[in-house]
Structure 1
Amino acid sequence: MTGAVRIRAVAATHPGLKRRINEDRFCARDDLGLWAVADGMGGHAHGDWASNAVVQALEAVALPGDFHDATRAVADAVHSANRRIWSEAQRRTQQMGSTVVALLVRDGCFSAVWVGDSRAYVLRDGVLHPLTRDHSQVQEMVDRGLITAEEARDHPRGHVLARAVGVGARLAVDVVTDDALPGDVFLLCSDGLTATTDEAAIAATLALADVQAALDQLIAGALAGGAPDNVTIVLVAVDEATALSLGGRGA
């Protein structure tokens, strides 16, 4: 990583309590400042293959040194995965797809790249900020004023995606960029977490100083909530760099 910050990142995935197959995957390229979560579409064939194809594309992508060029490379990798999954779906004559949310942190900046309803958040100064907006039918209903955000939480069509990687020949990928500040804690997650844990509980957990303890607590909370779906979480904490972490020597 460049810049006077230190990054601490942890990740975990759990099949949950109801699903036989874990169709979630995550990417953790700590050395390059790139992380991602992909959630295969459980209502379609080979969701685990589709999510794995997304992660493979992100694990293979070469990232340029410039932050904005690197962000474009991440988005291009998602498009590449879309072409691969779409082609395989045509060959098998079965619809296949996956969500993805990716985070790039470098040079004092971050970008979130996403398709579907896997989410990115940042906890900044004790306040949890959503960085992504679900590409789902229910979110579209909220946006149109047909239902409230509270009604959306338990809506029966809550898992129906309006956009996913691999379900069409063309794909729109959304991107948001901003500054990454010391003290920020980023969360990437599949909807297995957000379906069982409200944002107030997520914020309180992310405030823990120990990111591994926060990760463990979020997984445990999802399981305590019944975990009907796979649960995958990546936490990325941005700290002020100390002289020691920058390679200096203490007095």
Structure 2
Amino acid sequence: MNAPLRIEAVVATHVGMVREANEDSYCTRAADGLWAVADGMGGHAHGDWASRTLADVLAGAELPAGFNEACHVIAGAIHAGNARIWQEAQARGQQMGSTVAALFIRDRRFGVLWVGDSRIYLFRDSRLHQLTRDHTQVQEMVDRGLLQPHEAASHPRGHVLARAVGVQGVLEVDVVVDTVEPGDVFLLCSDGLTGQVPDAELAELLAHGDKQATLDQLIALTLERGAPDNVTALVVGVQEATLLTFALPGAFS
């Protein structure tokens, strides 16, 4: 039987150096093993409301005991958030939307569910793995061989989303499921972070043992580089739980 895992999670969000309002939102349910980041679509009306709606729906979802069943509920919550945002947009006659990237950990398994270009990374065995694939027009061009990966980073349309929550009545949610290993570190973030801190630096910072220090450095680096967008980051570290036994003086004399 596998020993229980000890999970440490820290989160921070910042409006950045240019925007007047923070359209990022997040959900943290450490007791249930669920975390999420949502980024309201920049330039669209009420992006802050859209991201908060998603975070609130995820925060209120009742998760069943089974891992697979819980993943289905989380996906259903994202679909419910899509319907709510889409209906509100239709009523107002204004387009609004949000990305979402959610991480669920239970029974030494993890699920990643996402829509848009907010990302989830896994740092394992000194290597950084991007678990999500950006739903952007530029990424689609890369996938079709029309653009090289190194050209995508500086492409002027790099942040134009090909898929987002709330912009259509029907939504497709991507899912990745795998096994958790002790020592894993997950990073959930909005593109305000990845636009300023490249993967090599992310890996270097995630290698540090102190999750709060890592988070602080990630936000500080983004701000130092101008932070033209809101920035939100969630760092989730996984370790084996340790059981310590304390003997009272004289207890065994």
- TM-score, L = length of structure 2: 0.96
Q: Which runs of 5+ in 1 are unaligned?
A: none
Q: Secondary structure at the residue paired with 2:170?
A: coil
* 8 Å contact kept, 2:120–2:187: yes
- Residue 68 (str. 1) matches residue 58 (str. 2): no
- Residue 102 (str. 1) matches residue 102 (str. 2): yes
Separation (CA, whole Å) in 2 of partners of 1:144 and 1:214: 35
CA shift, 1:145, in A, is 1.1
Which residue of structure 2 aligns with residue 81 of structure 1? 81
AA aligned to 1:24 is D
Which residue of structure 2 aligns with residue 123 of structure 1? 123
AA aligned to 2:152 is A
CA shift, 1:43, in A, is 1.7
CA shift, 1:250, in A, is 3.6
Which residue of structure 2 aligns with residue 41 of structure 1? 41
Separation (CA, whole Å) in 1 of partners of 2:135 and 2:204: 26
AA aligned to 2:69 is D
AA aligned to 1:150 is H
Question: Which residues of 2 match residues 168-207 of structure 1 at below 5 A?
Answer: 168-207=168-207
Once the two structures are superposed, what CA deviation does each residue of 1:71-127 show, in whole Å capped at 9, x if it has no partner? 111000000000000000000000110000000011000000000000000000010
AA aligned to 1:172 is E
Separation (CA, whole Å) in 2 of partners of 1:250 and 1:127: 37
CA RMSD of aligned residues (A): 1.0
Q: Which runs of 5+ in 2 are unaligned?
A: 248-253
Which residue of structure 1 aligns with residue 251 of structure 2? none
AA aligned to 1:95 is Q
* 8 Å contact kept, 1:3–1:106: no
Separation (CA, whole Å) in 1 of partners of 2:105 and 2:215: 19
- TM-score, L = length of structure 1: 0.96
Separation (CA, whole Å) in 2 of partners of 1:197 and 1:40: 20
Q: Which has the higher Rg, Structure 1 or Structure 2?
A: 2
* 8 Å contact kept, 2:26–2:37: yes
Separation (CA, whole Å) in 1 of partners of 2:78 and 2:139: 22
Once the two structures are superposed, what CA deviation does each residue of 1:165-186 show, in whole Å capped at 9, x if it has no partner? 0000000000000001100000
Q: How many residues align?
A: 246
CA shift, 1:3, in A, is 4.9
* 8 Å contact kept, 2:136–2:161: yes
Q: Secondary structure at the residue paired with 1:31?
A: helix
Which residue of structure 2 aligns with residue 52 of structure 1? 52
Q: Secondary structure at the residue paired with 2:6?
A: strand
AA aligned to 1:180 is V
* 8 Å contact kept, 1:243–1:250: no
Q: Structure 1 segments of 4 or more deviating over 4 A?
A: none
Separation (CA, whole Å) in 2 of partners of 1:3 and 1:158: 43
Separation (CA, whole Å) in 1 of partners of 2:49 and 2:5: 36
